[in-house]
Structure 1
């Protein structure tokens, strides 16, 4: 299996390089097509007789891109139609009807509309976006003028939409009024009433240099049909030459933003290792441009969301790849009260930008207070958006946006495992809308390139097969040395291996994962022996043996620990001698001597009731946490590798010391209660003891403040080549991965001591292959009713979804379903009409 996956991946990599990075046809590979705008171009006649379409390719796209359910437009994360499908479907039906083609498509589209429009409108009637309230009534009227009666099924809900359109202030019609972000009404000429018919003067007044109306294909198409303006025609022809089979919702788009989004998608999918050279070309070009540009304190209000999105994305990617870029490249706005107020007033249009800004602030270095302010401001708006999701303010405009925000706000990037993040983006890759256009979403997505998505899935499966094989090796090794059957403490073989495998993107055949996992297993067993099992005499005997590196006289648990450690050190030294030609045995032993010595000191403190000072405790605790014992020997096998002299305690680099301190602080914040019961000391407890008037929350806050500073310093050392250390970057990134592991284990609780908390993540990371599911449960929640004749043959299976009845939730087990006109009841839960479930 591994060989076939490897061959498939190599083939896909070459195809992706050729199709994406060589030609870089960004509009047709990564920019989503807008059914609404394409339909408007398809309506344009080719000559005064109006007997043929001017852009036949657009009409063909409409014919070929109707969804199986009968609609055109967007799906949400669960594969269900979003509200934008209603005006898009009507526009496509009108285009087909105009040229008397696609009779079957028209029937299917009408059937979808009649079955689903009322439900979709009722679901969103209290929070209809402004753009929908403008466009949808106009599309209904246009469909009726074309001879299509689409209002019978809408009952009273349509009047609510028309009423909302009438309530839109007339003052918004001024194209130059940017007090609020809302696009002016003149950018929706196809939706204006006949009394406001667009004329040539209005077109010329608002025409951009490229011949478009607000870079909107649909608005420009309507303006051309209404006025025959030559510049509009030239713009549309240019657009279709670039995008012959379906047009985007905006043209032209910032191609540099598209390229950055490609890098972002490739990174999220876990494919950086295959496209390092191509990514470097893009980022170096972006960096050159950023060095040239001035700080953008003034800009066109219409471009602000896109500008913030692009600049924060560029900052994150450039900083992650070691470029020296200032936070002011995107967060200059934090000291501009007018812009802050403007963003808050129009927060619905800035949500994607705020999320990207929040992500960018993950990479905050020490002293970057402007990033703190940007993080605080963006988080505040994102949290407000979460709380206001049901209000009539148009904020719910991007499908499943709240799920993305919830992920980012609940678990910080520094505490998330890269491997599992890759899986999330593989399975949810279509959740990538940037912001709303007139009638759909701007999307920059790798979903349009099936080879790249297949590569991501195959690569994830290959890594899983490697992880399974290596975990078997580690488990067998632990059992053979007797470490997994000690009879006390924590058996964490799987946890230790999963942590290193999921936290870093090491090469497939890297021995680093095995070295780190085995070292962590020995540390866990030995630490538990010092904490809970060994007498002080036994601990001294073991430490003496380690200092001499001679196990004579040891017995029982001490002998098992020493022999396993000696075997591991010998194996590591032998591998290094074979690869690099020098002997590092004594260097490795010295690191372990230092670590065992610190454990004995802490045991003596506990036994004697000695309370150290905070400085004395931290000096010993940094060593006893033993992260350097894991990361330094493993770094000898990276490329480029760690210089052997850096293994000596006196030569530890600042980043190593920062890792040691940060890991200790993370542990202490979550374990002070347990350690207090065990009679052990802890930095939180020491601070509380030294400040009698303080509460425990004050001491925790103090330790967290120290941690935040050291973590920011470590991040800068890991990412930047600033001359403060001479470790190769792969070694520094391994330090960062190790910090992420500790942050994951101790982010909000002590996961390492739990036997069950990580079980689900381990299964998804190592055993269960990724999927891209379309849960049926969301269809139950929404109650969308599809025609029985279309779905009589459809069956689907859902494992562990969630259904809803009012505010009451219930868990669904495996089931199959078919369409039915009857409601059914199970466990006092009503399944809506048109669905019948057969529980398996």
Structure 2
């Protein structure tokens, strides 16, 4: 089906603006905090002017309407990041005596919102904030800015200063247990910490940076005049312009992985197939030539990146080892650090947990990683301090809860895309540095707009096709049988929304018709037809002659004959082969299995487990639904793979997996109806076992078979079936997992209605940004009583500091690459540093 012109236009525009060429710096949100620090650096040759004038201009021109700089939520609600960022930006403006009105507006924001923002953090102040916020307050006061806090905040501010004091006393400048290390916060460390120039120079990276932090490197340059620091900063500005990121260099590979992830979760992958393949092929090549992963200084980032790469590559069919991201399990010190600081590793652990969804058989390291990450994510959900720390990303906890509550295989792609569109949050990697490392797409609005248009287009198609199917079931009498389940809407909903792949309309229609016929016929065998009627219908299917049939049997036969005629006609036009016999044989095999189960039930015969599974694999009818549909795909399923006895391993694994899923959730109903079920057979063969043990036994088999099935679906070298056909097997598994995840949702008249409405009928509810007034203070008033300078001084004295820090670093006799002139600075700058 041809895409609307609006969708095509959006796709083409995004390809031109994002992918050719793809500039990673355009995908990282600027850090107001780091930009402000570069703006403070004087020109060594013209000390009365800033060296990076563009950064100062950026600060002047990028103040939020509410008066703050820094990160905000979707609706421009400020985060706690905005406090140190706003203070730093005001100091940068004060250094150069510009932006008086900006400073006034920033002070108004601080005074109006500090209480609200700080009290939200009082029980869970992040490490980065405890280091940065006091330092920026001291710096602002040193600059002569009138920073005043309400009396009610005195205790909160004291607690933050006390936490900083504790951090500075307990942590070494660089150790193996804190990421990033203290020295990466150089710009925020007070003079009392007594850092010497040689300490700074010793820890400079080869690129001249201090742990790739622009703000810390700017401070290092102002303290040492080191030429390498300046070369790093100049390179940064030349590469990224005046939009300074919170870390540099930007990890180009991570950016590309996050872009692919964003495109896929918004449901746009079908529009960028070649671009995604090119990116992942490049990433795969890089991972294959690296025998071990270099952990770097930001462990969270490395874990996040490696686990994301593993998931995307494995989903694409690449053969990748779990150890490309499970390496952290071999480092006891890292595990201990993650557990102690779990709130800073939530993005990484979330990515790890999602990667372990793609677990094959005998991958014990993935099971270990899954258990470890799940435990930490569950801890985060129940932790108040974590929830407060995540105010920068308010939807993230809901996403974590969704991930833990509903298994990946139980989710339908179309509904997942809706969730991500409506959440409308950018990729965010929350780390310990002052601002979260946010992969904020400048083109995210374009991607979001395309996602909205694409989702609406799918909904319009789904509505039209569902109405067509309802007419078909009514015309052939299937919706008026007077017994059993009328599940046309359920069946179409499952087929249409289980995948984002660009299947054509015929594929969806045929799969749904097959599912409707399976449901109606299964009910007829279970609850309505006599043994004579069932035998006559089965025999008619064998010879494919329905003239002698009447009543319900006649309705079923005519509808099935119409379905097979449609499939064979379309396939013959496409491929030039007649597959009538193959399709009839599949359906006859299924009727035979239903007939066998009807005889067992009515004779009260209990088969062995092996007998039952041999028949039950066919009677569940998963293959009966998808194999005819696969014939109409491009590339289509080779007709020899449709013949009973010649099914591919992937199809057989799907058949047994769906049977086990059904039996775990349906045993109670089938016990009441007098039907056979694997749970009940196991209990009869093992009288010492109880129902929980029986279910556990079957679930263990199911987990093993699903792991094998997943490997056959995802790995390109497993079997000869075309990849799109294997992907439809995955969709079928997800449908059964969704219907039989925790209850028998397929038999419920109401359980699926909400999801059906969201998938097909209800319009999207996309969050839109809009300006908000200043946040009220914690007690509900607009303004609190300010903390006086004397009160602030008393607070500072509790920590053995003067109220105004002079930020002077002891100097050695060595000079920097720019010579001693660097330190002949304006009086205020000298006071500041």
Matches within 5 A, 1:426-441: 426-430=421-425, 432-441=427-436
| Secondary structure class of the residue paired with 1:51 | strand
Partner of 2:744 in structure 1?
Answer: 750
Q: For the Cα contact (< 8 Å) 1:420–1:502, is it kept in 2? A: yes
2:330 and 2:240 mapped to 1: Cα distance?
41
2:94 and 2:745 mapped to 1: Cα distance?
61
Matches within 5 A, 1:508-547: 509-547=504-542
| Secondary structure class of the residue paired with 1:247 | coil
2:586 and 2:386 mapped to 1: Cα distance?
59
Asked if 1:596 is matched to 2:591, the reply is yes
Range with bigger deviation, 444-453 or 282-291: 444-453
Shift of the 428–186 alpha-carbon distance from structure 1 to 2, 3 Å rule, reads: same
2:682 and 2:517 mapped to 1: Cα distance?
31
* Equivalent of residue 736 in structure 1, options 721, 725, 730: 730
Q: For the Cα contact (< 8 Å) 1:127–1:395, is it kept in 2? A: no
TM-score, normalising length: structure 2: 0.89
Partner of 1:162 in structure 2?
Answer: 161
Q: For the Cα contact (< 8 Å) 2:258–2:427, is it kept in 1? A: no
The alpha-carbon deviation at position 660 of structure 1 amounts to 0.7
TM-score, normalising length: structure 1: 0.88
Gaps of 5+ in 2: 784-833
Partner of 2:37 in structure 1?
Answer: 40
1:15 and 1:519 mapped to 2: Cα distance?
40
2:764 and 2:729 mapped to 1: Cα distance?
28
2:774 and 2:663 mapped to 1: Cα distance?
46
The alpha-carbon deviation at position 399 of structure 1 amounts to 4.5
Residue by residue over 1:510-553, the C-alpha shift from the partner in whole angstroms, topping out at 9 and shown as x without a partner, is 41111111111111111111112222222222222222211112
Range with bigger deviation, 332-341 or 680-689: 332-341
1:391 and 1:413 mapped to 2: Cα distance?
24
The alpha-carbon deviation at position 147 of structure 1 amounts to 2.6
* Equivalent of residue 566 in structure 2, options 544, 565, 571: 571
1:153 and 1:304 mapped to 2: Cα distance?
38
Asked if 1:22 is matched to 2:16, the reply is no
Matches within 5 A, 1:750-769: 750-769=744-763
Asked if 1:58 is matched to 2:55, the reply is yes
* Equivalent of residue 716 in structure 1, options 703, 711, 714: 711
| Secondary structure class of the residue paired with 2:50 | coil
Range with bigger deviation, 132-141 or 332-341: 332-341
Q: For the Cα contact (< 8 Å) 2:360–2:711, is it kept in 1? A: yes
2:283 and 2:11 mapped to 1: Cα distance?
24
| Secondary structure class of the residue paired with 1:764 | helix
Q: Cα RMSD over matched residues? A: 2.5
1:524 and 1:68 mapped to 2: Cα distance?
58
Q: For the Cα contact (< 8 Å) 1:361–1:371, is it kept in 2? A: yes
Matches within 5 A, 1:361-510: 361-390=356-385, 399-430=394-425, 432-446=427-441, 448-507=443-502, 509-510=504-505
The alpha-carbon deviation at position 79 of structure 1 amounts to 4.7
Q: For the Cα contact (< 8 Å) 1:77–1:431, is it kept in 2? A: no
Q: For the Cα contact (< 8 Å) 1:181–1:346, is it kept in 2? A: no
1:681 and 1:390 mapped to 2: Cα distance?
51
The alpha-carbon deviation at position 389 of structure 1 amounts to 3.4
Matches within 5 A, 1:200-279: 200-279=197-276
1:783 and 1:767 mapped to 2: Cα distance?
41
The alpha-carbon deviation at position 506 of structure 1 amounts to 3.1
| Secondary structure class of the residue paired with 2:384 | coil
Partner of 1:13 in structure 2?
Answer: 11
Shift of the 324–520 alpha-carbon distance from structure 1 to 2, 3 Å rule, reads: same
Q: For the Cα contact (< 8 Å) 1:63–1:105, is it kept in 2? A: yes
Partner of 1:663 in structure 2?
Answer: 658
Partner of 2:829 in structure 1?
Answer: none
The alpha-carbon deviation at position 779 of structure 1 amounts to 11
| Secondary structure class of the residue paired with 2:147 | coil
The alpha-carbon deviation at position 703 of structure 1 amounts to 0.5
Shift of the 775–687 alpha-carbon distance from structure 1 to 2, 3 Å rule, reads: farther
Q: For the Cα contact (< 8 Å) 1:239–1:251, is it kept in 2? A: yes
2:687 and 2:654 mapped to 1: Cα distance?
30
| Secondary structure class of the residue paired with 2:385 | coil
Residue by residue over 1:720-744, the C-alpha shift from the partner in whole angstroms, topping out at 9 and shown as x without a partner, is 1225x21111111101110000001
Asked if 1:172 is matched to 2:171, the reply is yes
2:183 and 2:501 mapped to 1: Cα distance?
53
Q: For the Cα contact (< 8 Å) 1:250–1:437, is it kept in 2? A: no
| Secondary structure class of the residue paired with 2:220 | helix
The alpha-carbon deviation at position 394 of structure 1 amounts to 6.7
Partner of 2:798 in structure 1?
Answer: none
Matches within 5 A, 1:74-153: 74-76=71-73, 79-153=76-150
1:377 and 1:196 mapped to 2: Cα distance?
36
The alpha-carbon deviation at position 199 of structure 1 amounts to 4.8
Residue by residue over 1:335-364, the C-alpha shift from the partner in whole angstroms, topping out at 9 and shown as x without a partner, is 544443343233333222211111111111
Shift of the 787–452 alpha-carbon distance from structure 1 to 2, 3 Å rule, reads: farther
Q: For the Cα contact (< 8 Å) 2:380–2:386, is it kept in 1? A: no
* Equivalent of residue 625 in structure 1, options 617, 620, 625: 620
Q: For the Cα contact (< 8 Å) 1:39–1:58, is it kept in 2? A: yes
Q: For the Cα contact (< 8 Å) 1:617–1:683, is it kept in 2? A: yes
Shift of the 152–26 alpha-carbon distance from structure 1 to 2, 3 Å rule, reads: same
Residue by residue over 1:230-284, the C-alpha shift from the partner in whole angstroms, topping out at 9 and shown as x without a partner, is 2211111111111113111100132211111111111111111121111111111
